[in-house]
Structure 1
Amino acid sequence: MPLKIVYKPYTLHFRKQAGTSRGVLTQKTSWLIKITDTEKPGVEGYGECGPLPGLSVDDLPDFEAQLADVCETFNDLDLDVFPFNLGIILDQLVPQHLPSARCGIETALLDFMNGGRRTPFKSAFSKGHTGILMNGLIWMGSYDNMLEQVEEKLSQGFTTLKMKVGAIDFDKECRILETVRSRFDKDSITLRVDANGAFTPENVHSRLNALAKFDLHSIEQPVKAGQHDLMAELCGVSPVAVALDEELIGVFDYRGKFALLKKLMPPFIILKPTLLGGFGHTSEWIEIANRLKIDWWITSALESNIGLNAIAQYTATFQNALPQGLGTGQLYTNNFESPLYIENGHLYYQPDAVWELPDYSFSEQV
């Protein structure tokens, strides 16, 4: 029998409000994918389609209707999947403007091909032998709240902190960085900041100069995406190393990826598989970055543990020494229990732990 795919929406609820430069999040909806084959009873491949509000190309009012069309086509085609035809299936089945759908279906197919054990990518990490070094994320909030988050992350053993900037008063944000630096030098604590495009052409140079005093590792997306001449200038002259993030979203053609990185030549790029169209597309960015001698790290994008697990396992296959941006289930009150856990600023996977999967029937949605 051919493969069958079903989906169902699932709304994740934040434990605390998550502040970004695009607003405050209290909940987020993902569409969970399951793939089965009646000839392989008990083998179920799971994935997550998680468009990010205000950022994903496929943050669309009719996303679910378009996903339903993709699933219906999938079920009509009598598909079998193998490593050699995975990319072909995805290219033919999922439109480019649905990158999170492609990522979720790709994850489910990889999981299915590997026996339906939630190990789409096998490595020392998925066997529980090694961990992934992470940065601790400081969400936007009040001055006191952000300082509280810093203390919490330091107590959890993180040696790299990433702080969102651009939403509260810039002077207050600098005071927080100054407080951290007064206690820990750059050899003790690495500081990253993420502006999410919040700076303007008029103030970006002065703000980068102000931030440079705090011995920062990098700044993500200092100005809004699409200003290529300005971004190329910043990548060349900024006193804080620039990392591209939103700039990569919506670029799916290989030649377009190469042309973008060749023009801008950033020190770093940040890769979010859910927003970039899955792991095949992410691997293209990595291959091009390596050719151009651009460093990179991988970041999750508010997925549940189902999506996060796949991204973490994929990340582990590269053995990248830089701290990665992989959040955990601690964000949500109703996440799925999983083998993922944090210890001393590292993400680990405990392979003998039990997965909690959705407790409702997927058969209601096709």
Structure 2
Amino acid sequence: MSLKFVFKPHTLQFKQEAGTSRGILTQKQAWVLKVSDDEQPGIYGFGECGPLPGLSVDDVADFEMQLASVCDTFNDLDLEVFPFNLDIILDQLVPPHLPSVRFGMETALLDYMQGGRRILYDTDFSLHGKGILMNGLIWMGSFENMQAQVEAKLQQGFSTLKMKVGAIDFDKECRILDSIRQRFGPDEITLRVDANGAFGQDEVFAKLEKLSQYALHSIEQPVKAGQHALMAEVCAGSPVPVALDEELIGIMDYREKFSLLKKLAPPFIILKPGLLGGFRHTSEWIEIAGRLGIDWWITSALESNIGLNAIAQFTARFENPLPQGLGTGQLYTNNFDSPLKVSQGHLFYNTAQEWALPEFN
């Protein structure tokens, strides 16, 4: 056996501008990985790397060079990979500052070890048509644009909406939330908001108090990551339950993960495997959260359908009843055709649908 990695870049184009408190997104750079063995022709594993600008720890100018270096090292070693040594090999070959590389290589190897079927885990989701409950994401934009997004998500059958806040006028954002609550009570529509760290120390509690009028399920990352004393105060005193997101990025050591969650004591954490270093690290966060009585859900990080498929299948293993954040497959004009389909606020894997994967020279 002589496993070899190759990769190619793929620039994902958004169907429409996607607004966050960190700016407007029109495209997302990804790198598609393919692993194969000359002794096993026709069996290929696919993965995806894709640092998020301004957020991922591996959002660096020479990312592709570093990815190439890791792949070359792997290829030179003529490794045999099995479930029992996968994490050991990745720990040795992928530096901690390249979490999306670890995620891409891990998922490609899992795919390969399962026969290259794009079925990484045998679950009711991947094999038997069971859907995963999701939230519908409302991107930042004009008041009218965000209202239109709300209407579209409601028509698509979503019962949980997640709205980005912190970029347009706060009162206008509250008006949108109020308009939803005027029509639907919390027993009909669950509302989440995501501030992406946009609230300052001098305003955060006033804004949280205002938001509490709308019976919100949670607010993601109300203040910027790294302000542990402030975040602990916010988690303890917020009238809206807090979910940590960016706060988790870049923490790879198990003891540091445990220390952070014990100190901040959030009601929720949000897990993005592509930013956290793949499934081994995501599983560690889940295990620690369980020990500390913290709930969690998983979201994709603007991956194409290749990365999204892996994340969704990993998520399905836990049968978490909370709505997950797995709707990124609908964002792009040039995504890869896949069995992933969204219907009535759920993500499904249609086993009758074929994949259309990128060609490699």
TM-score by length of 1: 0.98
Partner residue of 2:198? Answer: 198
> Which amino acid letter does the alignment assign opposite residue 314 of structure 1?
F
List aligned pairs for 1:123-134, cutoff 5 A: 123-134=123-134
Residue matched to 2:234: 234
Which residue of structure 1 lines up, in the alignment, with residue 143 of structure 2?
A: 143
Partner of 1:304: 304
- Once residues 129 and 19 of structure 1 are traced to their aligned partners in structure 2, the CA distance between those partners, rounded to angstroms, is 33
Tell me if 1:291 matches 2:272.
no
Write the letter of the residue equivalent to 2:92. Q
SS of structure 1 residue aligned to 2:182: helix
Name the residue aligned to 2:26: 26
The one-character-per-residue Cα deviations of 1:253-294 (angstroms, maximum 9, x if unpaired) are: 000000000000100000000000000000000000000010
Alpha carbons 2:300, 2:328 under 8 Å: kept: no
- 1:163-221 CA-to-partner distances (Å, cap 9, x unmatched) read 00000000000000000000000000000000000000000000000000000000000
Shift in Å, 1:328: 3.6
Structure 1 CA distance, aligned partners of 2:107 and 2:232?
A: 34
Match of residue 214 from structure 1: 214
Q: What's the offset of the Cα at 1:300?
A: 0.3
Give the 3-state SS of the residue equivalent to 1:125 in structure 2.
helix
Corresponding position of 2:114? 114
Where 1:35 maps in the other structure, the secondary structure is strand
Which amino acid in the other structure matches residue 308 of structure 2? L
> 1:315: how far off?
0.3
- Structure 2 CA distance, aligned partners of 1:290 and 1:315? 15
Between the aligned partners of 2:178 and 2:161, the Cα distance in structure 1 is: 13
The amino acid across from 1:90 in the alignment is: L
Question: Any unmatched runs of 5+ in structure 2?
Answer: none
**Using the alignment, how far apart are the partners of 1:2 and 1:50 within structure 2?**
26
Following the alignment from structure 1 to structure 2, what is the Cα–Cα distance between the partners of residues 122 and 54? 35
> What is the CA-CA distance between 1:330 and the residue it aligns to?
1.7
Match of 1:104 in 2: 104
1:130 and 1:55 mapped to 2: Cα distance?
32
For 1:198 and 1:312, the matched residues in 2 are separated by 28
**Aligned AA (2:32):** L
Instruction: Give the whole-Å Cα distance in 1 for the aligned partners of 2:306 and 2:327.
Output: 12
Per-residue CA shift, 1:86-119, capped at 9, x if unaligned?
A: 0001000100000000000000000000000001
RMSD of the TM alignment (CA)?
Answer: 0.7
Measured in 2, the distance between the counterparts of 1:121 and 1:152 equals 32
Amino acid of the residue matched to residue 165 of structure 2?
V
1:247 aligns with 2:247: yes
Partners of 2:30 and 2:328 in 1: CA distance: 15
8 Å Cα contact 1:218-1:240 kept in structure 2 = yes
Task: Answer yes or no: is the 8 Å Cα contact 1:134–1:346 preserved in 2.
Answer: yes
Pick which of 138-147 and 350-359 moved more. 350-359
Q: Deviations over 1:231-257 (max 9, x none)?
A: 111111100000000000000000000
**1:268 is the counterpart of 2:285:** no
Equivalence map 1:1-366=2 (5 Å) = 1-359=1-359, 361=360, 363=361
Q: Structure 2-normalised TM-score?
A: 0.99
Contact 1:139 1:163 in 2 (8 A): yes
How far is 1:122 from its partner? 1.7
Instruction: Output the CA distance in 2 between the equivalents of 1:122 and 1:199.
Output: 42
Shift of 1:335: 0.3
The residue identity in structure 2 corresponding to 1:349 is: Y
How many angstroms apart in 1 are the aligned matches of 2:3 and 2:277? 22
SS at match of 1:127: helix
TM-aligned CA deviation for residue 129 of structure 1: 2.7
Give distance in 1, aligned partners of 2:239 and 2:196.
18
Q: Could you tell me how far apart the structure 1 residues matched to 2:323 and 2:6 are?
A: 35
Q: CA deviation at 1:351?
A: 1.3
Contact 2:192 2:217 in 1 (8 A): yes
Q: Deviations over 1:276-334 (max 9, x none)?
A: 00000000000000000100000000000000000000000000000000014221000
Whole-angstrom CA distance in 1 between matches of 2:98 and 2:158: 34
Q: Is the 8 A contact 1:328 1:340 kept in 2?
A: no
Q: Work out whether residues 140 and 146 of structure 1, in 8 Å CA contact, stay in contact via their aligned partners in 2.
A: yes
Distance (whole Å) between structure 1 residues aligned to residue 314 and residue 280 of structure 2:
11
Runs ≥4 in structure 1, deviation > 3 angstroms? Answer: none
- The one-letter code sitting in structure 2 at the alignment partner of 1:30 is A
3-state SS in 1 of match to 2:13 = strand
The 1-side partners of 2:80 and 2:21 are apart by: 43
How many angstroms does 1:128 deviate by? 3.3
Q: Percent identity?
A: 71
Q: Distance in 1 between matches of 2:352 and 2:40?
A: 22
Secondary structure of the 2:177 match is helix
* Residue aligned with 1:104, SS: helix
